[in-house]
Structure 1
Amino acid sequence: MAKMGEGDKRWIVEDRPDGTNVHNWHWSETDCLGWARTFLSNLLCDKTLLSGESNLYIKTKKIEKLEGEAYVNIRKGKIIPGYELNLVLSYEAEAKDSDGNAVVLSTEGTVEVPYIADENAGEDPEIRISIKDDGPIGKLLKEAFIAKGKPFVFEKIRDFVDAMAKGGPAKDDLDVKKVAVKKPAASGPGVGSDSGVSNSGSVAKASKKPVEKKKKEGFKTITISERFNCRARDLFEILMDENRWKGFTQSNARISKEVGGEFSIFDGSVTGKNVELQEGKLIVQQWRFGSWHDGIVSTVRLTFDEPESGVTVVKLTHTDVPEEDRYGNSTVVENTERGWRDLIFQRIKAVFGFGV
């Protein structure tokens, strides 16, 4: 099989002016590595596996590595997926005493799946589970992950394999690409399609109706109000400082502090740019998630108010959040709101001690 980007040019037909690959007849090739990273991150990251059972706590963290290749070829409407991936996922584990109060051990580990490939799509791949602490309690936590986490990882990899078999990010090409709709022919006897004049010589009058502004469907607005024990300018600085973002989210971030400047947070899964900035008072940004359909951009508006000294109330308005992503998931609004509460506001309170 030809590698990604090296398809035989005899099979590749130039794009039509209307952008349509009719019936998906011609060979098309889509790079899926970025999509795979986002898809697997949504499935595997930040998931609680144990929450106090036998006083053990285990939660997945993030994808530390995803290397290899992933692509989907489509020919005559047939989907031909190809992928060879090496995945490394990190997790955190904690054990408490018999009363469930004091922490006995807090440690971390990794899960490596060295070979996820289309050739063994029907089989559970090899998996390697490790933990930093190799003492008795560490081994207990590792065994707990093997019992609970191993089936979880296999289940999510099967979901990825199924999604690739259905076309991955190229699935939309099978359904969405359609020939442009032709204008309907003029109805009525003797009406000319170009001149607008009937055979009898009378001028056909076009009815002019006021265009109604349609409500934007398929999008929602998220509103949240949070109270922090800190000054407004301190909270503003935390949200605009990439090093602090990295600290409380435990993920990579690049943030510009200039109006018009771009940012990338949560390991690149969210990107955007600054629209308006007023230190300690206002942040307005454009936000886009990598899992959204192309061209969709939402608006984030954060206002900061100090009703009393040392207390800040932040009001979030996140508009134009799509109800569904490019993969057909209908929990985008719910997940986005939960992300604001759990991954941003609550973590700021936990890390910087700004809780109320």
Structure 2
Amino acid sequence: MAKWGQGDPRWIVEEREDGTNVNNWHWTERDATVWSKGKLRELLVGIAMENEAGRCEISELKQVEGTVKESGAKHKGLIEIPNLSEENDVDDTEVNVSKKKGDGDILKDLMKTTGTAKVREALGEYLKALKTEFTAGMILPTRAVTTQELTVERTLAENSLQVQASPVALGVRIPTVALHLTELFDTTVEQLYSIFTVKDLVQKFSKSPAVLEAEKGGKFQMFDGNITGEYVELLTNRKIIMKWRCRNWPEEHYATVALNFVPAPGQTELQLDCKGVPVCKEENTKFCWQKQHFEEIKGLLQLTTQNA
């Protein structure tokens, strides 16, 4: 029998991208700051406006440069977008331009007319990308699902782009399956129940250190941390319900495991129901319970009988 995590390809699997969730909805927070700076720079820098009076161009996220055609004078100004929000119409977004005094006012007027329209168009593309590129592979929840709305404010300030964004709640739906297994053990209900709730016995059948708090809300860790979870309910010698996960499952994803201990003549039937197993982990989970749990427990019971 291979030790836990060693020698069996059914258990040792590489991380896969076809599951990231908690019971079909897993909310996460993502910081849009770095992505937004790059996307805004890509869309805004280089936008140019020109008329008979002059030409100006957004040279940096914070800066506009222009030339007055009649005098050839060059001017620089600052551009600011104070209230960009996903909830507001992009046509209502303010685009403010400031500059030092001088004949460069004609460039400022050019930015406030033609320039504002072009900037708003680019910001519309940014907001679309925020919902698609930034959230690639994810499904944004509707307001019916969560009251945490997506609100994003962008400020192009004097020295740097300042991004103020509330955390975005994102969810991904993954396919899961339910497992139902039954196994007969040549022991009493009391002894089999204790094998799942007494630390020393867990360490014996798992052949590895364990952490066990066998009470409602108590945590457990087995097989060198490959299995972790929490006890949801314990009915002595009758039933155990747990939040249960394997280390190589999607982060923070737990299945719900119910163990029912049913007495039979000279034996105990263990009925296992496991809901919320990622489809891609179904075979590994079966192997875990049948080989790493059931067979090892039977080996421990046999050894105990021989030494009695």
> What interval of TM-score do these two structures reach, taking the shorter chain for normalisation?
0.3 to 0.5
Task: Give the TM-score taking structure 1 as reference length.
Answer: 0.38
Task: Give the TM-score taking structure 2 as reference length.
Answer: 0.44
Greater relative contact order: 1 or 2 (C-alpha under 8 angstroms, separation 6 or more)?
2
Query: Which protein has the larger Cα radius of gyration, Structure 1 or Structure 2?
Result: 2
